[in-house]
Structure 1
Amino acid sequence: MEIPHQRLIYFQLTVETGSIRAAASRLAIAPSAVSRQIALLETAVDATLLERRRDGVCPTPEGELLLDYCHRRTRLDRHFSDALDAYQRLETGQITLYVGEGFVGDLIGHPLREFTESHRGIRLKIDTGSTREIIEAVVNDEAHIGLMYHEQVHPHLRFWQSTRQPLVLLMAPHHPLAESGSDPLTLAALADHPLALWHPGHGVRELVDLAFREAHQPLTVGIQTGSLEVLKHSARAGLCATLLPRFAAARELEEGSLVARDVLGQHFTQANAHMVTRVGRRMPRAGLQLLRHLQHWMRAFRCDDVTLDA
């Protein structure tokens, strides 16, 4: 049964004021118009809703049921209006991010702490995965925002910002390559040392494999892993050097437990960090606010002047 909202208002106001004439006065319309709308309402529900008395009107038992429905509908309308207002003021809602593991330290520190302190009603869901998993999550609307490395273009992704983040060699301060000067290293120099690398198929590993293959240099793999922490621990312990963007080991570089050397090669120097959403997806206001906040505060997106704002 579909009941026009306006007829419910006429009925409720008539009951609350006690007469059709008083309700018409409140509505600034003729009493006959109110009577006509209530008659149509009674026809729609197939029941008499008002009982006329000497001093006005009162609801019949069926009218009491409809009046209770009106009150509950009014509360639901008010609840929806309040919830929508809070959502639009960025006080409530959930934002889902799918990010490469190398972004986690950069993301969780100052950027998210400041954002959550300013938007305490916003819930954040954060998952990590490979570039392929990030793309799939964003394209399938499982995530509002993706942070990924290396991928350049995709027909279903909007690249909000892309920032040059070269792959560098990370190693312990006592590693032989850390003490061999300050000039960029060649792939031939790296070929003589074991490296801790992501498993085959990972985006960064594909970049490394491609660079060594095109340079016709052997790649000496000392450790393979799916964990960023294993890569960094291996480098800190001096077991192997590893290849990562600087932002993925910012804390270790600041404290001096790791040092970085640039590596020659277009595949390494042209790599980018990307902030993406799905093309055509309407972002919640809080999501747009978070995008701008991360663009400003994350190291991965403010270390270079090469940016693309779509």
Structure 2
Amino acid sequence: MKKWKAAVIGCGSIARHRHLVEYAAHPEVEITAVCDIVEERANEMAEKYNAKAYTNYEELLAKEDIDVVSVCLPNVLHAPVSIAALNAGCHVLCEKPMATSREEAEQMIEASHKNNKKLMIAHNQRFVPSHAKAKKLIETGEIGRVFSFRTTFGHGGPENWSVEGRDSWFFKKEKAFIGAMGDLGIHKADLLRYLLGEDFDEVASFVETTREGIDVDDNAVFILKTASGVVGTLAASWSYTAAEDNSTIIYGEKAILRLEDNPDYSLVVQYKNGEVVRYALGKIQSNESGGQKNTHVIENFIQSIKNDTEPPISGEEGKKSLEVILAAIEANASKRTVKVQA
């Protein structure tokens, strides 16, 4: 059985709790190298996973024979490091948001095609069981035409998750580009595109920074509209201090879908005729205790490489979700509704 040699660049929390854990659990993957500019972090993960430690990603790519690379770095480094890895002949799994601009995203996609290597963006919400079930219900017409939605993703902030705590790069614009919108909001933009089966056409937004000492957004609300006229709201926040909220409600002509809105039933379907169906499909991925830890991102990534198929969230798909966020930034700055670029 072939073992795919993997390298993880960036040894922060997302690498420790998601990528490294899932690579290690995959029977067809061998973690060969890890990299972090903080030598102590790199050495710690290298020892734990019996890998080679690096503090320079260019040296890693030059010296190691790697098949797949996970890019788990501050947002502004996603594009340049992904492109370098693709040019080095590696398949790349990049954390979200894939880039900080449309041009960067296009360059990543171009590098993927030029080198004939897979590029996947780690939008894990598509693989949540309740979300996959809801998509089937929508696709089969079970809830009829979709009229509206509301979705939110919020928690107490990156300081409760990042290895750097309150000093995290998440709070620094020069490294993060955007705050809660890029950390959480883009996940929901991608999820809604997946569930509805269509792209958003227009965006209006309110984006705020309420905390002292940070220069990125920590609260944002979007109003979104698809070309077919489905309208709804998306909220992203680092101000949900008491508990995480990762819920989505879909309003259809025959039923309402309540996703991750009930602690016991991850999907509740309320039909127009009064019938209620409750599905216990397991917990959503969460940083809180009790949350599902396997995101299924790694297994889908490796599967696409093995079978030479399009990754579930390709670079093109990642760019479409990024375009929603870019439009929201423009809408907030201009105080008007903005068309989402195709």
The question of a shared fold, defined as TM-score above 0.5 by the shorter chain, is answered with no
TM score, norm. by length of structure 2: 0.29
Greater fraction of residues in helix: 1
> Relative contact order: is structure 1 or structure 2 higher (C-alpha 8 Å, sep ≥ 6)?
1
Q: Which has the larger radius of gyration?
A: 1
